[in-house]
């Protein structure tokens, strides 16, 4: 059995993932969203087609993320709703099959949390977003792959990306909330 280098390092007294290029493991990546239906009920969805690369720099503030999302893979637990989300009313996947995120900056708190700003592109529209990020830990899996696990979250106004379809409800309010919560859980695998 060969000895595998540790998946972590210590920076300013804090255990963090080893510097290097890490790939998003699509089978262990959850890129999700939460909206409100009738302004009350939480409706959750996710994209299963996610690929990306994270470059963790020696200085964590210099790290970067690039992610591509297959919008056809949206899944909310209801086929009729999923087809509506794929339609021109929302993601218009026929003309815009992919979405993407590219980081523009990292604010590290000196511990295992921080925030990342970046450009989110949906339907050909690019807008800045900020995500709160937590590093959850690293492991070497049974096949000697080094893995790092992160979660991230943030809120956006879907109308900023032209996702404006809605219906008013009888006593005021809208059928679908404008504010959407983004929720991400990802495992990264260290390259080579």
| Domain range enclosing 34 | 18-190
Residue 11, in any domain of the structure: no
Which tokens in the block code for residue 111? 């511990």
Residue 8, in any domain of the structure: no
E-assigned strand segments in the chain: 8-11, 14-17, 20-37, 41-47, 50-56, 64-70, 74-75, 98-108, 113-122, 125-140, 146-157, 179-190
Query: What is the pTM for the complete model shown?
Result: 0.91
Number of domains comprising the chain: 1
pLDDT tens for 112-130 read: 999 999 999 999 999 999 9
Residue 4, in any domain of the structure: no
Residue 1, in any domain of the structure: no
**3 state SS of 87:** coil
pLDDT of residue 67: 97
Residue 96, in any domain of the structure: yes
pLDDT of residue 4: 61
How many percent of the chain have pLDDT more than 90?
78
Q: How far apart are CA 119 and CA 130, in angstroms?
A: 9
pLDDT tens for 58-92 read: 999 999 999 999 999 999 999 999 999 999 999 99
pLDDT of residue 92: 97
**3 state SS of 103:** strand
Element (H, E) at 86: helix 79-86
Rounded mean pLDDT of 132-157? 95
pLDDT band at residue 178, thresholds of 50, 70 and 90?
very high
Residue in 100, 98, 108, 170 with CA at minimum distance from that of residue 133: 108
pLDDT band at residue 93, thresholds of 50, 70 and 90?
very high
Residue in 157, 145, 148 with CA at minimum distance from that of residue 16: 148
Residue 155, in any domain of the structure: yes
State the CATH number of the domain containing residue 93. Answer: 2.40.128.110
More confidently predicted of 42 and 175: 42
Residue 76, in any domain of the structure: yes
More confidently predicted of 156 and 110: 156
Mean pLDDT of the chain: 93
pLDDT of residue 146: 94
Residue 32, in any domain of the structure: yes
């Amino acid at each position: 059995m060969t000895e595998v280098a540790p998946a972590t390092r210590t920076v300013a007294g804090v255990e963090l993932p080893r510097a290097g290029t890490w790939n998003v493991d699509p089978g262990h990546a959850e890129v999700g969203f939460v909206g409100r239906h009738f302004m009350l009920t939480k409706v959750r969805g996710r994209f299963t087609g996610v690929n990306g690369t994270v470059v963790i720099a020696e200085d964590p503030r210099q790290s970067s993320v690039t992610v591509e999302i297959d919008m056809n893979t949206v899944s909310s637990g209801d086929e009729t709703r999923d087809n509506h989300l794929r339609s021109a009313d929302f993601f218009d996947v026929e003309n815009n099959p992919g979405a993407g995120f590219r980081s523009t900056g990292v604010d590290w708190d000196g511990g295992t949390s921080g925030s990342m700003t970046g450009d989110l592109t949906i339907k050909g529209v690019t807008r800045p977003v900020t995500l709160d990020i937590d590093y959850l830990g690293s492991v070497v899996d049974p096949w000697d792959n080094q893995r790092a696990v992160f979660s991230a979250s943030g809120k956006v106004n879907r109308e900023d990306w032209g996702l404006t379809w809605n219906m008013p409800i009888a006593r005021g309010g809208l059928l679908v909330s404008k504010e959407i919560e983004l929720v991400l859980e990802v495992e990264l695998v260290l390259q080579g």
